[in-house]
Homo-oligomer: A and B are copies of this chain.
């Protein structure tokens, strides 16, 4: 890949920090500048050596930058892009790590209209229940998918630079249309998070919550692991992608209505058929993942 002389990372947490560490390890980057709303977070990133320099403003951070990663929760993208716009030089490549793409792109059209040739949205399919720069590690993206959702306005060379940067982190590149991206991830990521948060919240409110949690075992542990995820980040994702998420939630409610009808009528045969289909699909998926 072409070397990045000055990388700016906005939001130096798990996602932004791991990107910086991976590029540093790959020898693909010169100076790494962190921008953020919290001096404490930036200090932690400096102390870990993840960034070389910390800035609280875009005016300080952007001059001389050739590559910018926006790694804040998606709910902040509008504000972030508005703030960076006056300082963004033509030719600086900008990407983001947002879990939703349509809303990020709308913010880019609102605020970065003059730079659309070099604003190339992306989404790394990696993460953890942990957060913050302390949880970052250089191999987070290794063998993980990164979905790039290019804009019609994008310069092919800018797309190539974004792909190269993620590839240098060890990621496997994919491209999708933004709408398709948001529909797919509503189904396989955003809905499961909503459902897990909902189940834990439902049980935690009960008068016998302590007893319930006392008897919860490994099935519950795995099912609810994603309910340990970052509330602000997931609030933003759910709100940003609420149109697609509502569609998925309604499809799921229809599925639950079917299961409920089978329970009501004691129709074990139909229940077993659904369980059996699900098990086959789930095992086929897991087998394929293990091969890959």
**Closest B residue, CB atoms, query A283:** B228
* Inter-chain contact A223/B195, CB cutoff 8 Å: yes
Q: A203-216 interface mask toward B, CB cutoff 8 Å, 1 = contact, 0 = none?
A: 11110110111011
Q: A170-211 interface mask toward B, CB cutoff 8 Å, 1 = contact, 0 = none?
A: 000000000000001101110111111111111111101101
- How many positions in chain A have a CB within 8 Å of any CB in the partner chain? 85
A239 cross-chain contacts in B, Cβ below 8 A: 263, 266, 268, 271
A26 at the interface (CB under 8 A from B): no
* Inter-chain contact B199/A192, CB cutoff 8 Å: yes
Supply 17 further A-B pairs (C-beta < 8 A) apart from A189-B220, A197-B259. A185-B215, A187-B203, A195-B199, A196-B278, A197-B279, A198-B255, A200-B282, A201-B277, A209-B281, A222-B222, A227-B279, A227-B282, A231-B275, A235-B268, A239-B263, A242-B266, A249-B263
State the A residues within 8 Å of B (CB): 75, 125-127, 144-145, 147, 184-185, 187-189, 191-206, 208-209, 211-213, 215-217, 219-232, 234-236, 238-239, 242, 245-246, 249, 251-253, 255-256, 259-260, 263-264, 266, 268, 271-272, 274-279, 281-283, 285-286, 288-289
